Amino acid sequence: MDLLTVPIQKPDDVNLILGQAHFIKTVEDLHEALAGSVPGIQFGVAFCESSGPALVRASGTSPEMVDLAKSNALRLAAGHAFLIFLKNAYPVNVLNAVKAVPEVCGIFCATANPVEVILAETEQGRGVMGVVDGVKTRGFESESDVAERKALLRKFGYKA
């Protein structure tokens, strides 16, 4: 078995969700869940099929996001992994809808940070072992950091 890392390639202002599902209709069901979650959402979803023709299956509302999802999914080439790239929305806006899709087995990350995917490769194929989401933690938040965090959440409308 070989361990490797594959960095996700995306613009800084694009959010992503990386997960694992189990069935060919995942792409269509994720599309419906995303489209019904946020009016005007721009997204691309790609799913790595892991049997039969083993293709990347894709859909979305934005050709740019679909292309991003497809290219990153093919670089991962990991069984039943899916990638969602979002514009006009944040993972927090759609994550419950994504997790409620019956085929979804789990979520590895949901972020706008730089991401490296840790893969195991065997003779059979590839699997996602985990992710590196963002940078190494640098320390503890100060009182001013707490105040900034609370102000930001209120600015975005997540807290009253």
- Tell me, what CATH number does 34's domain have? 3.40.1520.10
Is residue 9, in this structure, part of any structural domain at all? yes
Please indicate, yes or no, if residue 95 is contained in any of the structural domains. yes
Show the domain range for 137.
2-155
Q: Read off the tokens for 120.
A: 């195991």
Has residue 114 been placed in a domain? yes
Q: pTM higher than 0.85, yes or no?
A: yes
Pinpoint the alpha helices (H) of 2-51.
26-35
Assess if residue 129 is contained within a domain: yes
Residue 119 in domain: yes
Spatial contact of 29 and 103, defined as CB atoms under 8 Å apart: yes
Number of folded domains in the chain? 1
pLDDT tens, residue by residue, 16-36: 999 999 988 999 999 999 999
pLDDT recorded at residue 158:
81
Under the banding of pLDDT at 50, 70 and 90, the label for residue 160 is confident
Residues 6+ apart with CB under 8 A from 133: 109, 111, 113, 115
Domain-embedded: residue 68: yes
Evaluate whether residue 160 is within a structural domain: no
